[in-house]
Structure 1
Amino acid sequence: MARFRMYPTSAQASVMLDHCAHARYVWNLAVEQHAHWYKGRKSAPGFAEQCRQLTEARRENAWLAAGNADVQQQALKDFARAKNARFASGSGEPTWRRKYVHEGFRVIGTDRIAEFEADGSPRLNARTGKQVMGR
């Protein structure tokens, strides 16, 4: 895994801390869902169902919608990986992430680039009004 040292400005650091908060929030919701399960109860939702729930939560919660969906989905993917590897890794069940202790997020697949019109203006999605990101 490649790791790079970063020297962010205070504004960039603030945005990254927001990403950390969103990733931690989503991770802790996944832990809560899986902790709620016990024998005889319907199983906890998997990665795909959690992604659908995340989409609904982003519609209802402006704070969560302000964050990057890729960061939040990656937190769910990391949780699913940790949950599947809990016996083989020796780390046990995934646990809660705490503020100022478990700060971090991963960004995978950053091959998306902004699309622009022929005149140089950003291409906007007609339905949402946000800029279109291409592959």
Structure 2
Amino acid sequence: MARFRMYPTSEQAGVMLGHCAHARYVWNLAVEQHTHWRKGRRAAPGFAEQCRQLTEARRENAWLGAGNADVQQQALKDFTTAKNARFTSGFGEPTWRRKHVHEGFRVIGTDRIGEFEADGLPKLNAKTGKQIMGRSVVVRQLNRRWAQVKVPGCGWVRFRLTRPELPKAKTFRVTLRNSRWHIAFA
């Protein structure tokens, strides 16, 4: 995983802080739903049900509705992944995220690119016979030391290239630590 330092403008930093707040809020709602589960009760909602609930909450709550839906759904997806890996990861149950401590959000790529097998042949869908299209993050290089990544709601955000090649990834995670923004490509 490649991690780089980001240099957003003040407007972009404000939007990204909003993304962090929305992602943290959705994560904490998911934690709350799962902590109220007790033996003998109906199961806590899964990812699909939580996405339906998120859609309803976005309609009713103007603050949540103003945020990016992809960022909020990725927070639910991350929670589901953490919940499913609680025994194998060594981290245990997912816990609450706190303001100024757990500031970050994940974004999936917006570009659609064809996927290929190891031998170079295109991956085909078994039902339709069409090529499978995967996601890719939109990154463009400005010069030898600087590049830009497209963050939803922010536009192009600059980051410092510390490796010779441009990162290729399907997702990226933006974090704020010690008043510094970082981006990690997965």
Give the structure-1-normalised TM-score: 0.80
Q: Which residue of 2 aligns with 1:105?
A: 105
Displacement of 1:6: 1.1
Separation (CA, whole Å) in 1 of partners of 2:76 and 2:85:
14
What is the rounded CA distance, in whole Å, between the counterparts of 2:72 and 2:86 in structure 1? 21
Identity of aligned residues (%): 88
Partner of 2:18: 18
Is residue 74 of structure 2 the alignment partner of residue 74 of structure 1?
Answer: yes
Amino acid aligned to 1:47: F
Compute the displacement of 1:3 (Å): 3.1
In the other structure, the counterpart of 1:7 is: 7
Instruction: Kindly report which structure 2 residues correspond to 1:53-68, keeping only aligned pairs within 5 A, or say none.
Output: 53-68=53-68
Partner of 1:29: 29
Structure 1 counterpart of 2:52:
52
Deviations 1:52-89 (A, max 9, x none): 00000000000000000000000000000000000000
Structure with more relative contact order (C-alpha pairs < 8 Å, separation 6 or more): 2
Tell me the distance in 1 between the aligned counterparts of 2:23 and 2:52: 16
Q: How many residues align?
A: 112
> In structure 1, what is the equivalent of residue 85 of structure 2?
85
**Greater percentage in strand:** 2
State the Cα distance separating 1:110 from its structure 2 match. Answer: 2.1
- Once the two structures are TM-superposed, the CA of residue 2 in structure 1 deviates from its matched residue by 3.8
Instruction: Find runs of 4+ consecutive structure 1 residues off by over 4 angstroms.
Output: none
Q: Which amino acid aligns with 1:3?
A: R
CA–CA distance in structure 1, aligned partners of residues 43 and 87 of structure 2: 18
Ranges in structure 2 where 5+ consecutive residues have no aligned partner = 113-186
Q: Distance in 2 between matches of 1:16 and 1:106?
A: 11
Stretches of structure 1 lacking an aligned partner (at least 5 in a row)? 113-135
| Higher helix content, 1 or 2 | 1
